[in-house]
Structure 1
């Protein structure tokens, strides 16, 4: 298995930054201001703008460049070049920086993984099965007894699977006390249903259609006992580098495993915002943490060290965090690299899912941009100040505006006449198609921005001397957009 070196990571980060540096304002622009701030004219290179002239060109460009990915077309050559250069910066196009699960695990088990569908969506099931199997492999290949700590435990999806299917002792930690109670309740229900669920999965793996739930199977072993409940505990804590995991494990499990030292595998499935970065910092700070497997998400909630581009009260939320989540590596800190909140928000979007579904942005994005035009015309002092949020169940622009007026408690907006709204729609009719194309072009930067965050995390671990640190493309990106796992294994003490 080839090892990714520090110099190799630094070189790739240099390439990413060289590509991104001219476009930071573009990826940080707010789609709310698409019309008021003339994003099409301001952010698109002139060569790209020249190739789009009217609604038909915009629609054809979307079809050929994004839905069909037609590389042999003769039109939109400047767009094709621009998109291809960006595509080459994506992490998925640099397999030399990635490690496969097969390469990571020295002794693969031959037993087939059962697909156990238990009280969760198909997406979550996909994520939990693959993450649990990976964590189990890492722990077993470490040749040492381990407790597992699940950071940001939530409803206990991953913890329950690790405890019930694989028999590990797991402590789930979540900052929200309600989550820990719900996770325990869910685990109790799951424990009672576990034998039936595994039986169904075994039958399905053999191509047998199991009977409907509720009908007792004649093949079920009545002597087979349910898995033990005492493998899984939860606690409500805010995770920092100072949190004493050893004390928490001893409190929850009593007598710890009998070995010379406590060994902990710190994991987390879609740890939100700064928690992903904190897990890497905890892994380094606490000697008992010997193994790490983390999949992060919600990049917009990262606290940046150098960015001043935070919108709509987000900066106040960031200031509540005790540590910085980006950049982690000294290499990017020395360069004072910053992204901005909108760039981090964009990093969490999925171009793969959008292309697979051929999905244009919801019409609310266009309507919200039109609303901002009304703000600038009627109450300019409120520009960039209104937080509308989600607006559901409307059949027209007029109804959308009515719902916004009610939600915002804005009499000035409620008094805007339908004639003005009709006129506004006519004035910006073509812009709707330009906005869709602009949106897709901007989304093409998402995997590039995510690559910057992930490689910074991997480099951070390498800088600290953890040579056995890996980046694994774990999930199907269409099913689960945040599909990369960071794994690190400390050398024996």
Structure 2
């Protein structure tokens, strides 16, 4: 794996990042095309590193495949120094090779800004900005997400004049409930799992009953709830169908019968347009939503947060089956744009969480070495059992390796009694934990660049058809690693994005409603805007 050329890749991106977001559309489009090309150049140079599975660290001798000049520096690096390599803070080791520093600098510069949190590393507390009844059954992370995405959708509603929202892949309906009860929007929640649809409706009815009984609740937010429940639909999105046939009927099962939430190809039941949203729309659901937006005048705007990139359909597909990546002709035309399953899986990493573990020297880091040693033992006993996707336990770091292996080997169909767990070879591998962690760090460095390429592809797809679009780091990445929201509309987004980072309702961090402790706010999100002229998980 050669060192990256420090000049062209790094200077281009740094120069591009410094350009004003108000530059002409064709300049911005060209700049993002160059950024995509630079990312692909970097990924091609380090494809062996990107495609490597850390569990194969010992079975495939991954450490020896690193550039020889890198090995001594990484082997002697402390976890805190590795964290500095990820975030360009804290300083590297005394004698780090320039090729390694250039690689790290290029990977950081090519990735979209994620919004660097300046606050406490604690997870978010109960959100005081949500009505107490809207917090029920909702974890703090999800409260943080629905409150911020909901306010962005309200801005889109005001800018487009659309009062109706279709929430695709709505799950238990937490976002839909906030949009309907909290913001007074007309919401259709679409979910393929009939069980979740039934659960969402039960939560709605529970909220309505409590809303009728609640009078003068202590510390209520100033904005009262609207007794306007969302409409829930069980259906599976057909990415190839026209918008008027969005939801073909599912086989009989629990939950209400599926039907098109828009009532026909011309728009909603009353003939108007709608907003479409998907909060962590998994795999191909995200590109399917963008495809529907692009060819359906009934959809005025979309706000989308992607997820599970490894589930994207990539490469040539059978006739009639759309491709999830690449979507744009710009990226598809670039040699080397292909992303392996492993690369797309890496794009889902929680960089900030891993960096926090490095800075704190967390014992959780030993789990990576444990799994690599276990894989070595499994392959030695039966090579056919390679890459079984075992999960011996979420708290592996609290166990000795022997205890960990006692749990993991039976999952592979192996008897622990027949595997030498206390051999010298096992001990020698466990002593290389610091090397395993260093190798993981290099993969973490590339992960945001891969995610950026996937999101760039979606951004360029929309730009190629003349839509107004932007990427907004809306959530705190420490709490929600998939925090970049893709916003697209048929009309300019200036009023939606103007002052987004200064909106007092959106930028104040959630506080603990029981202890009234303030969490410091993440840095104001920077917006990547594309002012183009307009174009013509419900899985």
The normalised TM-score by structure 2 is 0.72
Q: In the alignment, which residue of structure 2 is the partner of 1:351?
A: 351
CA distance in 2, matches of 1:45, 1:194: 63
Which has the larger displacement, 263-272 or 59-68?
Answer: 59-68
Distance 1:67 1:90 in 2: 12
Please give the alpha-carbon distance, in whole angstroms, between the structure 2 residues aligned to 1:416 and 1:320. Answer: 48
Poorly superposed stretches of 4+, deviation over 6 Å: 195-199, 318-321
| Deviation readout 1:237-291 (Å, 9 max, x if unpaired) | 2342415259623669xx9664xx4301111111111111111011112221111
Q: Distance in 2 between matches of 1:134 and 1:322?
A: 32
Q: Which residue of 2 aligns with 1:167?
A: 184
The answer to whether the 8 Å contact 1:188/1:229 transfers is: no
2:261 match: secondary structure: helix
Q: Secondary structure in 1 aligned to 2:486?
A: strand
Tell whether the 8 Å contact from 1:58 to 1:434 is kept in structure 2 after alignment: no
Q: Residues 195 and 424 from structure 1, CA distance in 2 versus in 1: closer, same or farther, beyond 3 angstroms?
A: farther
Answer yes or no: is the 8 Å Cα contact 2:302–2:489 preserved in 1. Answer: yes
Shift of 1:192: 3.2
Q: Cα gap change, 1:205/1:76 in structure 2, threshold over 3 Å: closer, same or farther?
A: farther
Further displaced range: 238-247 or 395-404: 238-247
> Please, which of 84, 100, 104 is the counterpart of residue 83 of structure 1?
104
Deviation sequence 1:121-175 (CA, Å, 0-9, x none) = 11111100010111111011113x4421111111111111111111111111112
Does 1:396 pair with 2:400? yes
**1:444 counterpart = 2:445:** yes
Which residue pairs with 2:234 in the alignment?
Answer: 235
Q: 1:250 to 1:68 in 2, by over 3 A?
A: closer
Which region of structure 1 is more displaced relative to structure 2, 421-430 or 341-350? 421-430
Query: 1:202 Cα deviation (Å)?
Result: 5.6
Distance 1:401 1:438, change over 3 A: same
Instruction: Give the structure 2 partner of residue 36 of structure 1.
Output: 59
Is the 2:315–2:323 Cα contact (8 Å) retained in structure 1? yes
Cα contact 1:160–1:232 (8 A) shared by 2: no
How many aligned residue pairs are there? 434
Partner of 1:409: 413
Alpha-carbon distance in structure 1 between the residues aligned to 2:458 and 2:235: 26
Alignment of 1:426-441 (within 5 A): 426-441=427-442
Alpha-carbon separation, structure 2, partners of 1:427 and 1:197: 63
In structure 2, relative to structure 1, the CA distance for the partners of 1:238 and 1:262 (3 Å cut) is: same
Matches of 1:251 and 1:429 in 2, distance apart? Answer: 61
Which residue, out of 157, 173, 180, partners 1:139? 157
2: distance between equivalents of 1:366 and 1:453?
29
Instruction: Answer whether contact 2:391 2:408 (CA < 8 A) is retained.
Output: no
Alignment of structure 1 residues 48-127 onto 2, 5 Å: 48-53=70-75, 57-58=77-78, 61-62=81-82, 65=85, 69-71=89-91, 74-78=94-98, 79-92=100-113, 114-117=129-132, 118-119=135-136, 120-127=138-145
Deviation at 1:235, TM superposition (A): 2.5
Once the two structures are TM-superposed, the CA of residue 85 in structure 1 deviates from its matched residue by: 2.5
Match of 1:9 among 32, 52, 55: 32
Equivalent residue, structure 2, for 1:460: 461
What SS does the aligned partner of 1:445 have? helix
Q: Which of 68, 79, 82 does residue 46 from structure 1 map onto?
A: 68
Q: Is the 8 A contact 1:361 1:439 kept in 2?
A: no
Aligned-pair Cα RMSD in Å = 3.3
CA distance, structure 2, for counterparts of residue 352 and residue 37 of structure 1: 28
Work out whether 1:272 is the aligned partner of 2:274: no
- SS for the counterpart of 1:238 is coil
2:131/2:182 contact within 8 Å kept: no
Residue deviations 1:338-380 (CA, integer Å, cap 9, x gap): 1111111111112122223435754332222112222333323
Of the three residues 146, 152, 156, the one matched with 1:128 is 146
Inter-partner Cα distance in structure 2 for 1:197 and 1:324: 49
Distance 1:18 1:401, change over 3 A: same
Q: What stretches of structure 2 of length at least 5 have no aligned partner?
A: 1-20, 117-127, 248-258, 492-533
Q: Cα–Cα, structure 1 residues 10 and 250, in superposed 2: closer, same or farther, change >3 Å?
A: closer
- Structure 2 partner of 1:102: none
Partner secondary structure for residue 46 of structure 2:
helix
CA 1:321–1:437 in 2, change beyond 3 Å: closer, same or farther? farther
Looking at secondary structure, tell me which structure has more helix per residue: 1
